[in-house]
Every structure is written in structure tokens, then in C-alpha cells.
A and B are shown apart, each in its own frame.
Chain A
């Protein structure tokens, strides 16, 4: 194993494509950890899944027209978020039902559009990710998205915190809660498109949820959770990339399995879970959560 790590590192020095892959993987890990934290705290994991699938037609159309994928995907991501909200609020159906209808329809449409565009390889990459084929343009786009995510969270930290924790209170002082929701959906769409490259559409939700959920188990502060989720997202992406390169696994499943493994370990040993109550006694670093 040590040898394969050495091989991986020396390959990193040699091959540009691997460097691009590594940098992109880290950036995607960071942004999905941050945005994913808000998604899970708002109880919107299903929404994250839905948006990530619903961008497919946008991706297809962008390929067909030769425009930037981010633009196509953003339009369909926001459209899906809007439709989900519309169906849920204008009928007596619950939100998860509305999500199921809208995202499957968008996903189906995306499939057909992609097959019309006749790019079977692309489809496979879009679905499962192909981190080793990241282009310079992809990397630039990912950098821009990471910048947007960080600016969004820094500038709207208060608002994201209060609308996630206590939206009713936010409404009483006049905050535009709905507007912030759609802004978050837009940013989520951008993150989704970036994460397409590393893990593919099908597994984007795992990148959003799993590192954030792992971070949640280790802290009681939102700020710490965001940073921790970003770090975990980056670390699992790097390890996943290493496995993908060394064992020739698809990058998406490799990254996602590492993330799930880390979550599993945290689930057993983290102080919040207290499955092993003796573990943190007397260490004094973390107060054990008691009833």
C-alpha cells in the first residue's frame, strides 16, 4: 500500500491530468461539504438529491448548443426547485411527493436529450463522474463556483444560519426567507454541476450529505461544522481519487465509499452518538452529550 501511495504521488508530479483531477476533487469536496451542511440542517437532503438529478436536461442542452454547462444546469436546477415549491404549495401533496414527481420527470427528459445528442461516453461520465478527464475549462469553472460558494456563505452567514435554525423567527423580522431559499438552490445547482465531474449526477447527493453529516456528529457549532465538512469533503475526495487511480475504480463510487466509511467510523466513535460512552470520558476535549 505504501508503494502504491508513492506511485500515486510520483504520478502526480508527472501527469498534468492527475494534478487537475486532484485540485478539482479538493475544490468539489470543499464546496459540497459547505453547501451540504446547510442542506442537511434544513432537512433538505431529498431536495439536494432532486436538484442534482434535475440538472440533467440543462447539461444535455448545454452540450447540444455548445454553451457553458453551468448556465444550462442553473436554469433547470432553479426551474425544478420552483416547480417543486409550486406543486407542494398549490396542492395538498406533501413536499417529498412533489420532489419525486418533478425530479424523475426532469431526469427522464435529460436522458432522452442526452441520447438525442448521441454522446454515450458523455452520458456515462455525467452519471458516474470522470475525475481523470477534467479539462482546464472545467477546472476554471470549478474555481469560480468555489469562489461563489465561499462568498455566498461568508456574506450571508447570519441569514443562512437563522433561516436554517429558526425560519419563523427570520420571517418575523422581515427577512426574505423564500428568496434566500432560492439563492441557496441556485448555489446548490452550481455545486451539483461541479460535482458532476468528480462523482457524477447519481452520487452528487452523497457528496452533499455524507461529509456534512459526518461533521455534524463531531461538533455543536455551525462554523466548526462548515469547516469540518469542507475538510472531510476534500480528504475523502483525495483518498477516493487515489483509489480510483490505483485500482482503476470509477472515481464517483470510490469517493462516495470513502465518505461513507468515514461516516461509519464517526457514527461509532463520535461523542454526539455516544455509542461508545466510555471513549471520551476524562479526555475533556469534548463534553459528552447527555440527556
Chain B
């Protein structure tokens, strides 16, 4: 279990959130939702140590971030990736082996085979030699999921993987997420909208400059919580639709 203890993050003097405490369970796919600017990406960046927290700490089954770094895979937002970089799909996936290799060691034949397998699992084998700007958004997202597979992590943290991708890619990625869950991994997904929340996630954290609610989707994804975090209109639209 990944435990976040009274975490506070602030840019200059404005706190993004204060004293956040929340747990992420192994063997579950947990979604983090909340309005724009609620601090979703900031929270996972603080968990990953990419942003320095003012207070608080994160506990990974009793271990510190430093001890478990190589057990964590991070799938960034696609918009943060330099698409013009001279690199093809296979070599991007191969970077997933770098963390465990450490300095002065090259990926082995077995490592390369694992990359090939990951590409196969995501239906990307035919694109292995393509430069990454020659892919659709969904294909590119699958490339980064393939890299996470190669990292063979026990905690996978993804930032908005479902934004602007095709249905086929979404289905393939969901299959991998379920696989990870069934293997007992901790899967955390920042999600930007409320569509398909019940379809994607087992557990949900609603964030709005602090935790609004957290727990199993059925308990947390309620009209009251959505109204409280977003708006009454949105809540009505969403739950009217699902009621039909």
C-alpha cells in the first residue's frame, strides 16, 4: 500500500493543497479526479519526488521513495513528450530498462526481447521502427504503456492516459491495467473528466485542493460528491444519464 501522509505542496506561497492524507491500495486501479487546477498532477509529481513537498511524506509498504524508485513506473502526459526527437518506438520502450540497468550497462538480448513482447502485447509490433511523431495519439500512449510494462514495476502512476485516444487504444490499455491489477500491482491514474469513471476504476480519489472523498468507486462516485467538487449541473447530467 502506498500511504500519503499530510502532504503539503506549494508554488511560491500559494499552497496547491495542504495536509493531504490518502492511501492507494495494491491490486486496485485507483483514479484521481478533480477539476482543472485541483492539484491532481501536482500530487502525483510530489509522490514521485519530482516536486518538493513542504510537509509530509509518502510511505511505500514501509519503505521510502528512495528505496522503491525502481519499483515505480511513471507514464507522463503525452503533451510533455518531445515528438521531434530522433528516436523510434522500439528505442523508447527500451528506455524502460534503463532504471534497473544503472550506469555503464547496456540492455541485454533478454531486455530487448522483453521490449518486443511488450510491443506485441500492445499491438505495436509493426510500428517498432517508426519515429514517434509518425504515430497517432492512441498509438503513442500505447508506446508509453509498453515502456511501463518493460519497467516491470509494482506501482504504476499514469497522468491522463485516456485523453484524446481512439477506442482501440483505450481497450488495449485497459486490458493491461486489468492485468497489472490482477498481478497485485498498485495502479494510479490521473483522469481529467468524469466519463467512464465507473468503467475504468476500482477506487477513486476526488481531489480539489485537498481530498474531497476517497474509497471504492461505488461509495465515492456519488451525486453529492460530484456536486460538491464540480457543479450541481454536471452532477445532474452525469447521474441522469447513468440512471437510464
Q: Which residues from chain A sit less than 8 Å from chain B, CB to CB? A: 41, 155-156, 158-159, 161-162, 164-166, 168-175, 216, 219-222, 224-225, 289-290
A172 touches B98 (CB 8 A): no
Task: Kindly state whether residue B66 has any CB partner on chain A within 8 Å.
Answer: yes
Report the separation of the CA atoms of residues A90 and B151 in the bound assembly, to the nearest whole angstrom: 35
Report the separation of the CA atoms of residues A100 and B53 in the bound assembly, to the nearest whole angstrom: 32
B134 touches A166 (CB 8 A): no
Instruction: Name 19 interchain pairs, CB-CB below 8 A, sorted by A.
Output: A155-B104, A158-B98, A165-B82, A165-B92, A168-B74, A168-B76, A169-B74, A171-B48, A172-B48, A173-B70, A173-B99, A173-B151, A216-B86, A219-B86, A220-B86, A220-B88, A221-B88, A222-B85, A222-B87
B72 touches A172 (CB 8 A): yes
Report the separation of the CA atoms of residues A224 and B86 in the bound assembly, to the nearest whole angstrom: 9
Chain A at the B interface: SS class: helix
Task: Kindly state whether residue B133 has any CB partner on chain A within 8 Å.
Answer: yes
Report the separation of the CA atoms of residues A171 and B98 in the bound assembly, to the nearest whole angstrom: 12
Nearest first, the 7 A-B pairs at minimum CB distance are A173-B99, A220-B131, A172-B74, A174-B69, A165-B85, A222-B86, A220-B86
Report the separation of the CA atoms of residues A174 and B50 in the bound assembly, to the nearest whole angstrom: 10
Q: Which residue of B lies closest to A157 (CB)?
A: B106
Q: Say how far B51's CB is from chain A's closest CB, in angstroms.
A: 10
Among A169, A224, A290: residue with most chain B CB under 10 A: A169
Query: B residues within 8 A CB of A216?
Result: 86
Q: Say how far B187's CB is from chain A's closest CB, in angstroms.
A: 16
- Could you tell me which residues of chain B, from 86 to 106, have a CB within 8 Å of some CB in chain A? 86-88, 91-92, 95, 98-99, 101, 103-104, 106
Given the known inter-chain contacts A166-B76, A166-B81, please indicate yes or no for A174 contacting B95, CB distance below 8 A.
no
Encode B42-63 as 1/0 by CB contact (under 8 A) with A: 0000001110000000000000
Given the known inter-chain contacts A41-B85, A216-B86, A289-B134, please indicate yes or no for A173 contacting B50, CB distance below 8 A.
no
Query: A residues within 8 A CB of B103?
Result: 155-156, 159
Query: B residues within 8 A CB of A164?
Result: 85
Report the separation of the CA atoms of residues A102 and B74 in the bound assembly, to the nearest whole angstrom: 36
Query: B residues within 8 A CB of A220?
Result: 86-88, 131
Interface size for B (C-beta < 8 A) is: 29
Report the separation of the CA atoms of residues A161 and B72 in the bound assembly, to the nearest whole angstrom: 20
Task: Kindly state whether residue B242 has any CB partner on chain A within 8 Å.
Answer: no
Query: B residues within 8 A CB of A173?
Result: 69-70, 72, 98-99, 151
Report the separation of the CA atoms of residues A222 and B87 in the bound assembly, to the nearest whole angstrom: 6
Report the separation of the CA atoms of residues A290 and B130 in the bound assembly, to the nearest whole angstrom: 11
A169 touches B70 (CB 8 A): no
Task: Kindly state whether residue B126 has any CB partner on chain A within 8 Å.
Answer: no
Q: Which residue of A lies closest to B97 (CB)?
A: A158
Q: Which of B49, B74, B95, B106 interacts with A165 by CB under 8 Å?
A: B95
Report the separation of the CA atoms of residues A220 and B130 in the bound assembly, to the nearest whole angstrom: 9
Q: Which residue of B lies closest to A218 (CB)?
A: B86
Task: Kindly state whether residue B233 has any CB partner on chain A within 8 Å.
Answer: no
Task: Kindly state whether residue B13 has any CB partner on chain A within 8 Å.
Answer: no
Report the separation of the CA atoms of residues A172 and B81 in the bound assembly, to the nearest whole angstrom: 15
B87 touches A174 (CB 8 A): no
B81 touches A174 (CB 8 A): no
Report the separation of the CA atoms of residues A166 and B83 in the bound assembly, to the nearest whole angstrom: 10
Q: Say how far B162's CB is from chain A's closest CB, in angstroms.
A: 20
B99 touches A174 (CB 8 A): yes
Q: Say how far B19's CB is from chain A's closest CB, in angstroms.
A: 25
Q: Which residue of B lies closest to A174 (CB)?
A: B69
Q: Which of A158, A166, A171, A221 interacts with B50 by CB under 8 Å?
A: A171
Among A159, A173, A219, A220: residue with most chain B CB under 10 A: A173
Report the separation of the CA atoms of residues A172 and B72 in the bound assembly, to the nearest whole angstrom: 8
Q: Say how far B97's CB is from chain A's closest CB, in angstroms.
A: 9
Report the separation of the CA atoms of residues A170 and B74 in the bound assembly, to the nearest whole angstrom: 10
Report the separation of the CA atoms of residues A244 and B131 in the bound assembly, to the nearest whole angstrom: 40
Q: Which residue of A lies closest to B74 (CB)?
A: A172
Q: Which residue of A lies closest to B159 (CB)?
A: A168
Query: A residues within 8 A CB of B98?
Result: 158-159, 162, 170, 173, 175
Query: B residues within 8 A CB of A290?
Result: 134
Query: B residues within 8 A CB of A171?
Result: 48-50
Known pairs A166-B76, A173-B98, A290-B134 / 18 extra A-B pairs, C-beta < 8 Å: A41-B85, A41-B86, A158-B106, A161-B95, A162-B95, A164-B85, A165-B85, A165-B95, A172-B69, A173-B70, A173-B72, A220-B86, A220-B87, A221-B86, A221-B87, A222-B85, A224-B86, A289-B131
